[in-house]
Protein backbone atom coordinates (compact mmCIF):
# COMPACT_ATOMS: atom_id res chain seq x y z
CA UNK A 1 0.00 0.00 0.00
CA UNK A 2 1.39 3.40 -0.95
CA UNK A 3 1.91 6.11 1.71
CA UNK A 4 -0.70 8.32 0.01
CA UNK A 5 -3.31 5.58 0.08
CA UNK A 6 -2.52 4.84 3.68
CA UNK A 7 -2.92 8.51 4.60
CA UNK A 8 -6.36 8.48 2.97
CA UNK A 9 -7.32 5.27 4.76
CA UNK A 10 -6.05 6.71 8.03
CA UNK A 11 -8.40 9.66 7.64
CA UNK A 12 -11.32 7.31 7.01
CA UNK A 13 -10.36 5.17 9.98
CA UNK A 14 -10.13 8.18 12.28
CA UNK A 15 -13.58 9.30 11.15
CA UNK A 16 -15.01 5.86 11.77
CA UNK A 17 -13.38 5.25 15.12
CA UNK A 18 -13.62 8.78 16.49
CA UNK A 19 -11.01 10.66 18.45
CA UNK A 20 -10.09 10.03 22.06
CA UNK A 21 -12.24 12.12 24.42
CA UNK A 22 -11.28 15.79 24.73
CA UNK A 23 -12.43 18.19 27.40
CA UNK A 24 -12.15 21.20 25.10
CA UNK A 25 -10.70 21.91 21.65
CA UNK A 26 -7.30 23.56 21.37
CA UNK A 27 -6.87 27.20 20.41
CA UNK A 28 -3.92 28.97 18.78
CA UNK A 29 -0.73 28.25 20.68
CA UNK A 30 -2.24 25.33 22.56
CA UNK A 31 -2.82 21.62 22.05
CA UNK A 32 -5.00 18.87 23.50
CA UNK A 33 -3.95 15.24 23.91
CA UNK A 34 -3.63 12.97 21.99
CA UNK A 35 -1.35 14.37 19.32
CA UNK A 36 -0.84 11.33 17.01
CA UNK A 37 -3.69 8.90 16.32
CA UNK A 38 -5.13 6.29 16.10
CA UNK A 39 -2.11 4.27 17.29
CA UNK A 40 1.46 5.52 17.82
CA UNK A 41 2.79 3.25 20.54
CA UNK A 42 6.33 3.43 21.95
CA UNK A 43 7.09 6.78 20.28
CA UNK A 44 10.61 7.81 19.32
CA UNK A 45 11.09 11.39 18.12
CA UNK A 46 13.95 12.87 16.11
CA UNK A 47 14.47 16.32 14.58
CA UNK A 48 15.69 16.32 11.00
CA UNK A 49 18.34 18.62 9.57
CA UNK A 50 15.65 20.93 8.16
CA UNK A 51 13.96 21.33 11.56
CA UNK A 52 11.07 18.96 10.86
CA UNK A 53 10.22 16.42 13.56
CA UNK A 54 9.58 12.73 12.92
CA UNK A 55 7.90 10.24 15.22
CA UNK A 56 8.42 6.48 14.83
CA UNK A 57 6.16 3.93 16.48
CA UNK A 58 5.73 0.21 17.09
CA UNK A 59 4.21 -2.03 14.42
CA UNK A 60 0.42 -2.23 14.78
CA UNK A 61 -2.66 -3.14 12.78
CA UNK A 62 -4.97 -0.13 12.51
CA UNK A 63 -7.69 -2.22 10.90
CA UNK A 64 -6.31 -2.15 7.35
CA UNK A 65 -3.18 -4.26 7.71
CA UNK A 66 0.15 -4.10 9.50
CA UNK A 67 2.04 -0.82 9.70
CA UNK A 68 5.73 -1.77 9.90
CA UNK A 69 7.12 1.00 12.10
CA UNK A 70 4.72 3.79 11.11
CA UNK A 71 6.27 7.22 10.70
CA UNK A 72 4.67 10.61 11.40
CA UNK A 73 5.89 14.13 10.57
CA UNK A 74 5.34 17.44 12.37
CA UNK A 75 6.53 21.03 12.25
CA UNK A 76 5.42 21.88 15.80
CA UNK A 77 5.56 18.65 17.90
CA UNK A 78 1.77 18.57 18.33
CA UNK A 79 0.28 18.26 14.82
CA UNK A 80 1.39 14.94 13.34
CA UNK A 81 0.74 13.51 9.88
CA UNK A 82 1.32 9.88 8.91
CA UNK A 83 3.86 9.66 6.06
CA UNK A 84 4.60 5.94 5.64
CA UNK A 85 6.33 2.90 7.10
CA UNK A 86 10.01 2.21 7.64
CA UNK A 87 9.71 -1.24 6.04
CA UNK A 88 7.58 -2.53 3.17
CA UNK A 89 8.07 -6.05 4.54
CA UNK A 90 9.61 -7.41 7.72
CA UNK A 91 13.37 -8.00 7.43
CA UNK A 92 14.03 -11.59 6.41
CA UNK A 93 16.84 -12.43 8.82
CA UNK A 94 14.40 -13.71 11.44
CA UNK A 95 11.79 -16.38 10.68
CA UNK A 96 8.90 -14.43 12.21
CA UNK A 97 8.19 -11.59 14.56
CA UNK A 98 6.92 -8.08 15.07
CA UNK A 99 8.86 -4.83 14.88
CA UNK A 100 8.62 -3.23 18.31
CA UNK A 101 9.79 -0.12 20.07
CA UNK A 102 11.91 1.71 17.47
CA UNK A 103 14.59 4.16 18.56
CA UNK A 104 15.79 6.67 15.96
CA UNK A 105 18.78 9.00 16.23
CA UNK A 106 20.39 11.51 13.92
CA UNK A 107 24.05 10.67 13.32
CA UNK A 108 26.18 12.87 11.08
CA UNK A 109 24.39 13.29 7.76
CA UNK A 110 22.08 10.33 8.31
CA UNK A 111 19.82 8.47 10.71
CA UNK A 112 20.09 5.20 12.58
CA UNK A 113 17.20 3.06 13.76
CA UNK A 114 17.40 0.31 16.37
CA UNK A 115 14.32 -1.88 16.78
CA UNK A 116 13.05 -4.98 18.55
CA UNK A 117 12.26 -8.03 16.44
CA UNK A 118 10.30 -10.77 18.17
CA UNK A 119 7.00 -12.52 18.62
CA UNK A 120 5.09 -12.21 21.90
CA UNK A 121 6.87 -14.50 24.36
CA UNK A 122 9.76 -15.15 21.95
CA UNK A 123 12.50 -17.10 23.82
CA UNK A 124 15.20 -15.44 21.70
CA UNK A 125 14.14 -11.89 20.78
CA UNK A 126 16.58 -9.76 18.82
CA UNK A 127 17.53 -6.15 18.25
CA UNK A 128 17.98 -4.99 14.67
CA UNK A 129 19.45 -1.91 13.03
CA UNK A 130 18.72 0.11 9.89
CA UNK A 131 20.07 3.34 8.41
CA UNK A 132 18.77 6.06 6.11
CA UNK A 133 19.85 9.37 4.63
CA UNK A 134 16.42 10.88 5.41
CA UNK A 135 13.88 10.12 8.15
CA UNK A 136 11.27 9.19 5.55
CA UNK A 137 13.68 6.66 4.08
CA UNK A 138 14.36 4.58 2.21
CA UNK A 139 15.82 2.59 5.10
CA UNK A 140 18.52 -0.03 4.62
CA UNK A 141 18.45 -2.87 7.12
CA UNK A 142 21.67 -4.32 8.54
CA UNK A 143 20.47 -7.74 7.40
CA UNK A 144 21.23 -9.43 10.72
CA UNK A 145 20.74 -8.87 14.43
CA UNK A 146 22.91 -6.48 16.40
CA UNK A 147 22.41 -9.15 19.04
CA UNK A 148 19.75 -11.53 20.33
CA UNK A 149 19.03 -12.70 23.86
CA UNK A 150 21.02 -15.89 23.37
CA UNK A 151 24.03 -13.89 22.14
CA UNK A 152 24.14 -11.31 24.92
CA UNK A 153 22.91 -13.49 27.80
CA UNK A 154 19.99 -11.20 28.70
CA UNK A 155 16.42 -12.52 28.58
CA UNK A 156 13.77 -10.55 26.67
CA UNK A 157 16.23 -8.35 24.80
CA UNK A 158 13.85 -5.76 23.36
CA UNK A 159 13.19 -2.00 23.70
CA UNK A 160 16.55 -0.58 22.56
CA UNK A 161 17.69 2.98 23.28
CA UNK A 162 20.83 4.36 21.64
CA UNK A 163 23.16 6.85 23.32
CA UNK A 164 26.29 8.43 21.85
CA UNK A 165 28.66 10.53 23.92
CA UNK A 166 32.17 11.58 22.94
CA UNK A 167 32.30 8.97 20.20
CA UNK A 168 31.32 6.11 22.50
CA UNK A 169 28.14 4.32 21.44
CA UNK A 170 25.98 2.57 24.02
CA UNK A 171 22.78 0.59 23.74
CA UNK A 172 20.42 0.52 26.73
CA UNK A 173 17.68 -2.08 26.57
CA UNK A 174 15.58 -4.68 28.38
CA UNK A 175 12.10 -5.77 29.39
CA UNK A 176 11.28 -7.20 32.82
CA UNK A 177 14.61 -9.02 32.98
CA UNK A 178 16.69 -6.06 34.11
CA UNK A 179 17.58 -2.98 32.11
CA UNK A 180 21.11 -3.36 30.76
CA UNK A 181 23.65 -1.21 28.92
CA UNK A 182 26.41 -2.34 26.57
CA UNK A 183 29.06 -0.48 24.61
CA UNK A 184 28.83 -1.05 20.85
CA UNK A 185 31.52 -1.43 18.23
CA UNK A 186 32.56 1.70 16.33
CA UNK A 187 30.10 0.93 13.54
CA UNK A 188 27.25 0.38 16.01
CA UNK A 189 26.43 -3.10 14.73
CA UNK A 190 27.53 -5.41 17.57
CA UNK A 191 28.38 -5.42 21.28
CA UNK A 192 31.95 -4.47 22.12
CA UNK A 193 31.93 -5.45 25.79
CA UNK A 194 29.94 -7.29 28.44
CA UNK A 195 26.57 -5.81 29.46
CA UNK A 196 26.10 -3.86 32.68
CA UNK A 197 22.89 -4.26 34.68
CA UNK A 198 21.16 -0.98 35.60
CA UNK A 199 17.89 -2.08 37.27
CA UNK A 200 16.01 -4.99 38.75
CA UNK A 201 13.27 -6.88 36.88
CA UNK A 202 10.37 -4.42 37.23
CA UNK A 203 11.04 -2.25 34.21
CA UNK A 204 11.20 -1.96 30.42
CA UNK A 205 11.24 0.80 27.77
CA UNK A 206 14.37 2.68 28.83
CA UNK A 207 15.06 6.25 27.76
CA UNK A 208 18.03 8.33 28.95
CA UNK A 209 18.08 12.13 29.19
CA UNK A 210 20.99 14.23 30.45
CA UNK A 211 20.50 17.36 32.52
CA UNK A 212 22.69 19.40 34.90
CA UNK A 213 25.39 16.75 35.14
CA UNK A 214 23.07 13.78 35.70
CA UNK A 215 21.81 10.98 33.49
CA UNK A 216 18.09 10.39 34.02
CA UNK A 217 16.88 6.87 33.25
CA UNK A 218 13.16 6.90 32.42
CA UNK A 219 11.44 3.52 32.58
CA UNK A 220 8.00 1.95 32.34
CA UNK A 221 6.51 -0.66 34.64
CA UNK A 222 3.24 -2.60 34.70
CA UNK A 223 1.02 -3.82 31.87
CA UNK A 224 1.26 -1.87 28.62
CA UNK A 225 -1.45 -3.54 26.60
CA UNK A 226 -4.50 -4.73 28.55
CA UNK A 227 -7.01 -2.20 27.27
CA UNK A 228 -8.76 -0.29 30.04
CA UNK A 229 -7.08 -2.55 32.61
CA UNK A 230 -3.55 -1.48 31.59
CA UNK A 231 -1.35 -0.53 34.54
CA UNK A 232 1.68 1.02 32.81
CA UNK A 233 3.39 3.82 34.74
CA UNK A 234 6.59 5.82 34.25
CA UNK A 235 9.47 5.88 36.74
CA UNK A 236 12.87 7.54 36.84
CA UNK A 237 16.23 7.31 38.53
CA UNK A 238 19.38 9.35 38.07
CA UNK A 239 23.14 8.79 38.06
CA UNK A 240 26.37 10.69 37.49
CA UNK A 241 27.34 7.91 35.05
CA UNK A 242 25.49 6.49 32.05
CA UNK A 243 26.07 2.98 33.38
CA UNK A 244 24.89 3.76 36.91
CA UNK A 245 24.28 3.18 39.66
CA UNK A 246 20.86 4.86 39.30
CA UNK A 247 19.01 5.95 42.42
CA UNK A 248 15.59 7.45 43.02
CA UNK A 249 14.68 10.66 44.84
CA UNK A 250 14.99 8.88 48.19
CA UNK A 251 18.43 7.51 47.28
CA UNK A 252 17.25 3.92 46.71
CA UNK A 253 19.09 1.98 44.00
CA UNK A 254 16.95 0.97 41.01
CA UNK A 255 18.60 -2.45 41.18
CA UNK A 256 17.07 -2.89 44.64
CA UNK A 257 13.48 -1.64 44.50
CA UNK A 258 14.09 2.06 43.78
CA UNK A 259 12.29 4.27 41.30
CA UNK A 260 10.51 7.64 41.53
CA UNK A 261 7.12 7.68 39.81
CA UNK A 262 6.75 10.35 37.13
CA UNK A 263 3.48 9.52 35.39
CA UNK A 264 0.44 7.32 36.05
CA UNK A 265 -3.07 7.01 34.69
CA UNK A 266 -6.07 9.13 35.62
CA UNK A 267 -9.82 9.23 35.00
CA UNK A 268 -9.35 9.78 31.24
CA UNK A 269 -6.16 7.90 30.34
CA UNK A 270 -4.73 4.58 31.52
CA UNK A 271 -1.39 2.89 30.94
CA UNK A 272 0.84 5.86 30.07
CA UNK A 273 4.37 4.81 29.23
CA UNK A 274 7.32 4.16 26.93
CA UNK A 275 8.55 7.73 26.88
CA UNK A 276 10.83 9.97 24.88
CA UNK A 277 12.04 13.40 26.01
CA UNK A 278 12.32 16.22 23.46
CA UNK A 279 13.44 19.81 24.09
CA UNK A 280 11.78 22.76 22.35
CA UNK A 281 13.37 26.03 21.22
CA UNK A 282 13.15 27.47 24.74
CA UNK A 283 14.95 24.40 26.16
CA UNK A 284 11.72 23.21 27.78
CA UNK A 285 11.54 19.42 27.93
CA UNK A 286 8.46 17.57 26.69
CA UNK A 287 7.55 13.99 27.50
CA UNK A 288 6.22 11.94 24.58
CA UNK A 289 4.46 8.70 25.51
CA UNK A 290 1.50 6.53 24.60
CA UNK A 291 -1.61 5.98 26.69
CA UNK A 292 -5.00 4.32 26.32
CA UNK A 293 -8.30 6.23 26.52
CA UNK A 294 -10.19 4.64 29.41
CA UNK A 295 -13.60 5.05 27.76
CA UNK A 296 -12.56 3.77 24.31
CA UNK A 297 -9.56 1.47 24.82
CA UNK A 298 -9.54 -0.58 21.61
CA UNK A 299 -9.89 -0.22 17.86
CA UNK A 300 -12.77 -2.18 16.25
CA UNK A 301 -10.31 -5.00 15.44
CA UNK A 302 -9.35 -5.36 19.12
CA UNK A 303 -5.95 -3.66 18.93
CA UNK A 304 -5.13 -1.47 21.91
CA UNK A 305 -5.81 2.16 21.04
CA UNK A 306 -2.46 3.67 22.04
CA UNK A 307 -2.13 7.16 20.54
CA UNK A 308 0.84 9.38 21.31
CA UNK A 309 0.51 12.10 23.96
CA UNK A 310 2.79 14.93 25.04
CA UNK A 311 3.16 16.87 28.29
CA UNK A 312 5.62 19.39 29.61
CA UNK A 313 8.34 18.27 32.01
CA UNK A 314 8.94 20.57 34.96
CA UNK A 315 12.23 20.06 36.78
CA UNK A 316 11.74 20.45 40.53
CA UNK A 317 14.76 20.14 42.82
CA UNK A 318 16.54 18.18 40.10
CA UNK A 319 13.71 15.73 39.39
CA UNK A 320 11.16 15.57 36.54
CA UNK A 321 7.50 16.32 37.31
CA UNK A 322 4.77 15.93 34.68
CA UNK A 323 1.41 17.72 34.90
CA UNK A 324 1.85 18.21 38.65
CA UNK A 325 1.53 14.47 39.13
CA UNK A 326 -2.07 14.43 37.88
CA UNK A 327 -1.50 12.05 34.98
CA UNK A 328 -1.87 12.88 31.29
CA UNK A 329 -3.28 16.33 30.58
CA UNK A 330 -6.84 16.51 29.26
CA UNK A 331 -7.40 20.26 28.90
CA UNK A 332 -5.72 22.62 26.40
CA UNK A 333 -2.06 23.14 27.24
CA UNK A 334 0.47 25.73 26.10
CA UNK A 335 2.23 24.27 23.07
CA UNK A 336 5.98 23.80 22.65
CA UNK A 337 7.96 26.75 21.28
CA UNK A 338 9.37 26.03 17.82
CA UNK A 339 11.72 28.24 15.80
DSSP state for residue 325 in the 8-state scheme: G
Rg of the Cα atoms in the chain = 19
DSSP letters for 194-222: --EE-S-TT-EEEEEEEETTEEEEEEEES
Q: Label each residue of the chain as H, E or C.
A: CCHHHHHHHHHHHHHHHCCCCCCCCCCCCEECCCCECCCCCCCEEEECCCCCEEEECCCEECCCCEECCEEEEECCCCCCEEEEECCCCCCCCCCCCEEEEEEEEEECCEEEEEEEEECCCCCCCEEEEEEECCCCCCCEECCCCCEEHHHHCCCCCCCCEEEEECCEEEEEECECCCCEEEEECCCCCCECCCCEECCCCCCEEEEEEEECCEEEEEEEECCCCCHHHCCCEEEEEEECCCCCCCECCCCCEHHHCCCEEEECCCCCEEEEEEEEEEECCCCCEEEEEEEEECCCCECCCCCECCCEEEEEEEEECCEEEEHHHCCCCCCCEECCCCC
Provide the annotated active-site residues.
Answer: 42, 204
Amino acid sequence: MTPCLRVAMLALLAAACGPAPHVAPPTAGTYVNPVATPVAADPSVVRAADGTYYLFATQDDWGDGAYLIPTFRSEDLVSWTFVGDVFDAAPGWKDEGFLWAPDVSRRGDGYVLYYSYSTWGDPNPCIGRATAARPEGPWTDLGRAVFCSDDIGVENSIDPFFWEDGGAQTLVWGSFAGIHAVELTADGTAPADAPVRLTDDRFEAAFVARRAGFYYLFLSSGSCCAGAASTYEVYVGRSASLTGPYVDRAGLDLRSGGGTRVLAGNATWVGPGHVAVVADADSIDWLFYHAIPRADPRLPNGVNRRPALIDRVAWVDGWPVVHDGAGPSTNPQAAPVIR
